[in-house]
């Protein structure tokens, strides 16, 4: 009797909690997405016929891809720099990781808007230097996409950096000593020692951050509005609040959720295959 109660306490309660807070609302959302006066795929058909949806789908590829590229380039450079300074790495890494997350996201995005708005701090600095102002947030422009990518990367680069720092610290120093004895230079050592040994950490960071990047919402909404740099989440928000089409909004949300789940499964498979192929 006691073992049954313990099993219920440690397995049944969390299961009920997950069902109540996650699965039940998700199931209700799926049902709503197929409701058009009865079971129908009309909501999905209407979403797929909407040109704004396809702009949002393109944005949902462009922004995460660009953000990941910026994050990985900066995070790798920072991780290599911090790892070379072993005496200070802990304090510097802690500050670099905590500081961006100590600021609420809406505050960080409001600050970014003040920086990039037409008469913001950045254009003010350009004007003071005698240069022309740049339309950073003009809807649909390349500048607006670049701005959203940079701001999104700015917020989460420390997370990727810390994963890479942890990966660098697992590389045995003997490998670097062997490379020096073989006459390998800095670039050769980086290419044939650091990168291969860092690959598992980089893959893990890519999977985790890639899944998270697909969920982008507030960055584009605050900086450029719904149609400035559209993504599927802001498109669904527009359908729900402005167009008063909750069923279509739910259909768009289900499409995004499906893409995220497929991406997550592909990433987990890649991580598992990497773990199997990596020699002990």
Q: Give backbone dihedrals phi and psi of 167, rounded to 5 degrees, phi first.
A: -65, -40
From first to last of its 280 residues, the chain has per-residue pLDDT tens of 556 656 565 566 666 666 666 777 778 888 888 888 778 899 999 999 999 999 999 999 999 999 999 999 988 988 888 777 655 555 665 666 667 666 778 888 989 999 999 888 999 999 999 888 899 999 889 999 999 999 999 888 888 888 898 899 888 888 888 888 888 888 888 888 889 899 889 988 998 898 999 999 999 999 998 888 999 999 999 999 988 999 999 999 999 999 998 988 888 888 787 665 554 4
pTM value? 0.84
Taking Cα atoms as reference points, which of 58, 98, 26, 10 lies closest to residue 250? 26
The pLDDT tens digits for 21-71 are: 677 777 888 888 888 877 889 999 999 999 999 999 999 999 999 999 999
Place of tokens 């409001």: 110
Residues 126 and 134 sit within 8 Å (Cβ to Cβ): yes
Residues 223 and 116 sit within 8 Å (Cβ to Cβ): yes
Domains of the chain: 1-33 (no CATH), 44-277 (1.10.3720.10)
Taking Cα atoms as reference points, which of 83, 110, 94 lies closest to residue 168? 83
């Amino acid at each position: 009797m006691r073992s049954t109660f313990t099993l219920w306490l440690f397995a049944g309660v969390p299961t009920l909690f997950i069902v109540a807070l996650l699965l039940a609302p998700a199931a209700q959302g799926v049902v709503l997405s197929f409701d058009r006066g009865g079971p129908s795929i009309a909501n999905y058909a209407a979403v797929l016929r909407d040109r704004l949806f396809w702009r949002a789908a393109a944005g949902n590829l462009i922004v995460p891809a660009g953000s990941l590229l910026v994050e990985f380039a900066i995070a790798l450079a920072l991780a290599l720099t911090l790892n070379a300074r072993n005496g200070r790495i802990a304090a510097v890494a802690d500050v670099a990781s905590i500081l961006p997350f100590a600021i609420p996201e809406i505050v960080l995005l409001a600050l970014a808007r003040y920086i990039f708005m037409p008469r913001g701090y950045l254009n003010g600095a350009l004007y003071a230097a005698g240069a022309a102002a740049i339309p950073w947030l003009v809807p649909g422009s390349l500048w607006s996409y670049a701005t959203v990518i940079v701001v999104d990367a700015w917020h989460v680069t420390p997370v990727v950096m810390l994963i890479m720092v942890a990966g660098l610290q697992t590389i045995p120093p003997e490998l670097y000593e062997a490379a020096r004895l073989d006459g390998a230079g800095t670039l050769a050592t980086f290419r044939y020692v650091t990168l291969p040994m860092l690959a598992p950490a980089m893959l893990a960071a890519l999977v985790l951050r890639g899944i998270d990047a697909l969920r982008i919402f507030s960055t584009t909404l605050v900086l450029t509005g719904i149609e400035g740099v559209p993504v599927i989440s802001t498109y669904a928000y527009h359908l729900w609040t402005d167009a008063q089409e909750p069923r279509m909004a739910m259909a768009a949300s289900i499409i995004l959720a499906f893409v995220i789940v497929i991406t997550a499964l592909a990433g987990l498979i890649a991580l598992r295959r990497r773990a199997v192929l990596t020699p002990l």
